[in-house]
Amino acid sequence: MNLFKDIFRIISTSELRNYLFEGFKNTIVIACVAALIGLVIGFIVAMVKIFAIDNPKLKPLAFLCNVYTTVIRGTPIALQLFVMVFAILAIPGFKVTAIILTFGINSGAYVSENIRAGILSVDKGQMEAGRSLGLSRFKTMTKIILPQAVKNVIPAIGNELIALVKETAIVSMVGSTVGTLTFDLNQAASTINKTIANYLAPALLAALLYLAVVYGITLVIKLIERRLRAGDSN
């Protein structure tokens, strides 16, 4: 069959194969850096929202955070990417930064809600107990609440990471350049199509590589979950 012949041709031609590997590497780098940014933003935003519940001074900041999550979760990421690259960060040489920031900021909005949900799922009595033992609000949060919340949050964060990896496939919308981080796995498939006039074959191989990353993330998440649950012997 033609499809298998084309797939074999991609695998056996080093030029074509290298496009896939380069795209694979770039997709992972973009996703990893964006995930880190997302985790930091998400954590900060979640904390602001939680502490603002009984701290009036934080209310304006919490309002901003709410605007952030509403806008980011309420608009298409393709549009956010476009606006970031061609309007907000439209500075020569800032494309890669703009792209990674877009994904990071987008991911942060979802992560913040995941983390907030995890913290809220810890019984209110835990905070009261910590406070009555003389711990400060901050100490109770870091020593008592967060360690319990982490367990609940990990699966949701894993979910978000998986979504993030696949979302990076829209990078080529704002233009991809071979040799830079913008040349992602999806664009690699597109580039191979030019040489062999078959889009399905490289797209299937790209899909396999996406699947491999996602499966890797799943395994790591499972490992972390098992470690965290190791203490629950009841």
Partner 1 sequence: MKKILKLFALLFCLFAVSACKADDTLVVYTEAGFAPFEYISEGKIVGVDVDIMNLVGEKLGKKVRFENVNFDVIVDTVAAGKLTKVGAAGLSITEERMQKVDFSKVYYQANLYVIYDISKEASLKHLMSDGNYGVYWSSLMTDKGIGVQTGTTADLFLSDEVKDGGLLEGVKVNFFSSLDTAVSDIGLNSDFVIIDELPARKLVEGKANLNCLPLYYQGEAGDELAFDEYAICVTKGETELLAAINEVLDELLQEDENGLTGIQALVNKHLGLD
Residues 131-150 contacting partner 1, CB under 8 A:
none
Asked whether position 174 contacts partner 1 by CB under 8 A, the answer is yes
- Cβ at position 106, least distance to partner 1 in Å: 19
Asked whether position 179 contacts partner 1 by CB under 8 A, the answer is yes
Give me the 198-227 binding string for partner 1, x by CB under 8 A, dash otherwise. xxx---------------------------
Q: Contacting partner 1 (CB under 8 A), which of 193, 207, 221, 228? A: 193
Q: Contacting partner 1 (CB under 8 A), which of 12, 197, 230, 234? A: 197
Are residues 168 and 209 in contact, defined by beta-carbon separation less than 8 angstroms?
no
* Side chain identity, residue 230: A
Q: Contacting partner 1 (CB under 8 A), which of 140, 191, 205, 206? A: 191
Q: Contacting partner 1 (CB under 8 A), which of 26, 27, 168, 176? A: 176
Residues 91-120 contacting partner 1, CB under 8 A:
91-93, 95
Are residues 112 and 65 in contact, defined by beta-carbon separation less than 8 angstroms?
yes
DSSP output for 29-49: HHHHHHHHHHHHHHHHHHHHH
DSSP output for 109-173: HHHHHHHHHHHHTS-HHHHHHHHHTT--HHHHIIIIIHHHHHHHHHHHHHHHHHHHHHHGGGGGG
Q: How far is it, in rounded angstroms, from Cα 46 to Cα 38?
A: 12
How many residues bind partner 1, per CB under 8 A? Answer: 31
Please report how the helices 2-12 and 14-51 are oriented relative to each other, as an axis angle in degrees rounded to 10.
90
Site residues, partner 1 (CB under 8 A): 2, 82, 85-86, 90-93, 95, 172-180, 182-183, 187, 190-191, 193-200
